[in-house]
Amino acid sequence: MSESADFDQLDCSAVIADVYLLLDSECDDRSRERLQRHLDDCGSCLEAYGLESQLKSLLSRKCGGEHAPEGLRERLLIEIRRTVVVTTRTDVRD
């Protein structure tokens, strides 16, 4: 098999791992084409892609455009500023 053919071969785990790149249009044209070819030929990956697509759409409809109340944002910023990280140094002696 040629190097190009090896590169074009995708296993299902790689497709599922990259499905959000395809859904969010965050992959280059070649990757998009490779992922789409795999989805066209693999029913189980296409089903998983469909579920992820539906989930993303549902979340967008139900949560899109909502923002946390300004008071909550201010309280979180205050708590973040008040948080102090304490580290303990232990001297190791031989």
Going residue by residue through the chain (94 aa), what tens digit of pLDDT does each one get? 443 444 456 788 888 888 888 888 898 999 999 999 999 999 999 998 898 899 888 888 887 777 778 899 899 888 888 876 655 666 666 5
Q: How far is CA 73 from the centre of its chain?
A: 25
Quick check: is 87 in a domain? no
* 18, part of any domain: yes
Containing structural domain, residue 49 = 3-82
Q: Is residue 91 part of a domain?
A: no
43 within 8 A of 15, measured Cβ to Cβ? no
Total structural domains in the chain? 1
In a domain, 94, yes or no: no
Its pTM stands at: 0.53
Tell me if residue 7 falls in helix, strand or coil.
helix
Is residue 77 a part of any domain in this protein?
A: yes
Residues 6 or more apart from 8 whose CB is under 8 A from it?
A: 34, 37
CA 34 – CA 76 distance, rounded (Å): 43
How many C-beta neighbours within 10 Å does residue 62 have? Answer: 8
